[in-house]
């Protein structure tokens, strides 16, 4: 994404008003970027060698600003070319909203489902508490603050059996300690929660493939996570989780396909487009990209690739009026 420098101020940018508030980072800090809500690209420090300022990053969100100390005489921030508002995408009576990272909200006929809610600020300022069913694929997406923010009081959590809080280096609660009904599921399970059908699929990186650590261990070894194939009011949405394309993926039925396209730790946009063509869903909505540098992806190129194969794809900013 191209960026431009601007003095911190209320800025109207392509008709979208942003209130910008910088975070001043000193040279002794290890922070090299601020991951802002709403999937803004990481903003790089202006001058990492300056011992007095260290770097300034804009922390921006529509209609809200965080009150962080700053010097208006010296502050310059990097602002993305185009803000990325989150839109509601409608398909066959289903409303889908990608909230950033791996967080997806589904709603149909009065029932709300969340997939992998939280992390990287995607729920900052949000506490909807409307989720009837909340699903978690694996450790990396297990965020109990996010779960508490989205889940209704009588929600059911569907959590992959491999989620292990002892492995997670963040402050999280055990699933059993949360005040909700919790169902632990394996990688090939079928669960009925009221009128929502939840099916799981295996999700992992091929140990012989490119998504491995220097040690040769996959970033997502088999057994670490799963994908979710959710049917809500007759419409099926497939979020394969953090995974490569695996045998059997192409034989699934899906009305809406939400593949990760960031590469690095999962399938990239090219593999995701191949799988989208094989699945031939009614709609493709890419997710799990641009949250941080390693998973930056050209979503527009992915959309064009899908459409060239006769598969309709939309991006989250095309929601509301973009796809009905």
pTM: 0.74
Q: Are 80 and 41 in contact (CB under 8 A)?
A: yes
Phi and psi at 78, nearest 5°, equal -95, 130
pLDDT in tens, 22-75: 333 332 222 233 333 322 323 333 333 333 332 333 333 332 233 333 333 333
Please tell me the predicted confidence (pLDDT) of residue 242.
98
> Percentages helix, strand, coil for the chain, rounded to the nearest 5?
15, 35, 50
**Per the structure block, which two tokens stand in for 219?**
């970033």
CB atoms within 10 A of CB 224: 24
pLDDT in tens, 95-134: 999 999 999 999 999 999 999 999 999 999 889 999 999 9
Please tell me the predicted confidence (pLDDT) of residue 87.
83
d(CA 52, CA 109): 56
Please tell me the predicted confidence (pLDDT) of residue 89.
96
Which residues in the chain come in under a pLDDT of 70? 1-86, 317-324
| Domain residue extents for the chain | 3-80, 89-318
Q: Are 131 and 119 in contact (CB under 8 A)?
A: no
d(CA 64, CA 69): 16
Q: Are 36 and 121 in contact (CB under 8 A)?
A: yes
Q: What is the CATH number of domain 89-318?
A: 3.60.15.10
Please tell me the predicted confidence (pLDDT) of residue 323.
54
């Amino acid at each position: 994404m191209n960026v431009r420098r601007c003095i911190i101020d209320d800025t109207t940018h392509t008709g979208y008003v942003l209130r910008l508030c910088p975070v001043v980072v000193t040279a002794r800090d290890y922070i090299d970027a601020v991951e802002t809500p709403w999937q803004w690209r990481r903003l790089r420090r202006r001058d990492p060698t300056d011992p007095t300022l260290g770097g300034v990053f804009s922390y921006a969100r529509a209609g809200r600003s965080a009150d962080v100390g700053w010097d208006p005489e010296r502050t310059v921030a990097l602002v993305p070319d185009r803000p990325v508002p989150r839109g509601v995408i409608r398909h066959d009576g289903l409303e889908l909203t990608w909230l950033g990272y791996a967080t997806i909200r589904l709603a149909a006929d009065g029932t709300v489902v969340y997939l992998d809610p939280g992390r990287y600020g995607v729920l900052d300022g949000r506490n909807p508490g409307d989720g009837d069913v909340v699903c978690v694929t694996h450790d990396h997406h297990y965020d109990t603050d996010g779960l508490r923010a989205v889940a209704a009081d009588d929600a059911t959590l569907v959590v992959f059996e491999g989620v292990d809080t002892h492995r997670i280096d963040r402050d999280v609660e055990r699933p059993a300690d949360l005040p909700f009904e919790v169902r632990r599921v394996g990688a090939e399970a079928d669960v009925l929660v009221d009128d929502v059908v939840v099916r799981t699929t295996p999700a992992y990186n091929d140990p012989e493939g490119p998504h491995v650590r220097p040690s040769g261990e996959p970033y997502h070894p088999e057994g670490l996570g799963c994908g979710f194939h959710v049917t809500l009011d007759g419409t099926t949405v497939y979020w394969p989780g953090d995974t490569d394309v695996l045998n059997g993926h192409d034989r699934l039925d899906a009305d809406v396909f939400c593949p990760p396209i960031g590469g690095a730790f999962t399938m990239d946009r090219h593999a995701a487009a191949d799988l989208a063509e094989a699945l031939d869903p009614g709609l493709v909505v890419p997710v799990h990209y641009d949250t941080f540098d390693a998973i930056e992806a050209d979503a527009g190129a992915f959309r064009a690739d899908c459409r060239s194969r006769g598969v309709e794809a939309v991006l989250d900013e095309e929601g509301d009026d973009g796809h009905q």
